[in-house]
Amino acid sequence: MNFQQLRIIRETVRCNFNLTEVGNALYTSQSGVSKHIKDLEDELGVELFVRKGKRLLGLTNPGKELLAIVERMLIDANNIKKLADQFVNSNQGQLTIATTHSQAKYVLPQVIVQFKLAFPNVQLALHQGSPADIARMLIEGKADIGIATEALGQAQELASFPYYDWRHVVIVPKGHALEKNKKLSLNDLTQYPIITYNEDSIGRHAIDETFAQAGVSPNMTITALDADVIKTYVELGLGVGIVASMAYDAKRDETLSILGADLFKENTTRIAVRRGHFLRGYAYQFIQFCSPSLDESTIRAGVVLYPELEEASSASASL
């Protein structure tokens, strides 16, 4: 048994049992992949995959049990490398953050400034995607930290922590008639064209759900993927905007007013890491820059599977 065989087992599942794709992902041939699988099955004395001819259709029961062990072993193999790096280069390396466009653009810039001042020799890689993409990157070990409002609290493999709360808000050009409403309602918004996120954008479902529950039919006249685009068309007087509250900045958006802070339900953005994933000291510091209440002990309590690794990390960080 060797690590290449274990990687092939994991990658075969990730590639939906397509051995050509497995070979491409691991820089080997399809025949090489097949041989590794057969050798491992012969060594273990059980079939790991359900087959139809030469095609793999799924995992057998022993294969399903083995996959969970393989995932843990490969995570720990990567943890060993990170543990060594923590001792040798405690303030160098790479930190990969997976997050959404809104978080990367409106929430994280000041955190990243703090982090780069504290750890100038750490390469910071930002990957933007949907909440599902972010969860997948964390689970597959392709990201160290994930930040999103949806999906991160649902995967058993992830430990997630509340970061901050926010709502969708209404934005209008300054001097707009709606500014005079002391108690803005959803019905008031139906009197104007509405500019908001695309139907497949993050958070749009929550906006639609709020109107539906109130029995109100809004006129969604313009939709866009990005809040800055929405704000541009609101400034042009083409309608009333609905955006995530973090996308509005009083200094930057001086031509716009924010209204209706209590019209839409509260959302919680979460910070997540993979359970058992070894975090370098600077990763804990990044999380605490995001939220001072999320100190290292709080994160460790939610993430740790192997206390001896975490104790070693603490010892090296204090050197």
Q: Provide the residue-wise pLDDT of the chain in tens; the chain has 319 residues.
A: 888 888 888 889 888 899 889 888 888 888 888 888 888 888 888 889 898 888 888 899 988 888 888 887 877 777 677 666 666 666 778 999 999 999 999 999 999 999 999 999 999 999 999 899 999 999 888 899 999 998 898 888 899 999 999 999 999 999 999 999 888 999 999 999 999 999 988 789 999 999 999 999 999 999 998 899 999 999 999 999 999 999 999 999 999 999 988 999 999 999 999 987 778 889 999 999 999 999 988 898 877 544 444 444 444 444 4
Domain boundaries, position 272: 90-165+268-317
Q: Is position 85 within any domain?
A: no
Mark whether 157 and 276 lie in a shared domain: yes
Mark whether 161 and 197 lie in a shared domain: no
Mark whether 103 and 123 lie in a shared domain: yes
Last residue of a domain, one of 24, 42, 72: 72
Q: Is position 205 within any domain?
A: yes
Mark whether 173 and 261 lie in a shared domain: yes
Q: Is position 81 within any domain?
A: no
What region, left, alpha or beta, does residue 27 occupy, with left being phi > 0 and alpha being psi -120 to 50 degrees? Answer: left
Separation of alpha carbons 74 and 141, rounded Å: 10
Mark whether 158 and 274 lie in a shared domain: yes
* Domains in the chain, number: 3
Mark whether 259 and 287 lie in a shared domain: no
Mark whether 184 and 161 lie in a shared domain: no
The CATH number assigned to the domain holding 22 equals: 1.10.10.10
Mark whether 147 and 283 lie in a shared domain: yes
Mark whether 275 and 152 lie in a shared domain: yes
Mark whether 138 and 197 lie in a shared domain: no
The CATH number assigned to the domain holding 211 equals: 3.40.190.10
Last residue of a domain, one of 265, 281, 306: 265
Contact 131, 150 (CB under 8 A): yes
What region, left, alpha or beta, does residue 233 occupy, with left being phi > 0 and alpha being psi -120 to 50 degrees? Answer: alpha
Q: Is position 161 within any domain?
A: yes
Q: Is position 234 within any domain?
A: yes
Mark whether 197 and 122 lie in a shared domain: no
**pTM of the predicted structure, to 2 decimals:** 0.71
pLDDT at 151: 87
Mark whether 134 and 198 lie in a shared domain: no
Q: Is position 80 within any domain?
A: no
Q: Is position 223 within any domain?
A: yes
Q: Is position 312 within any domain?
A: yes
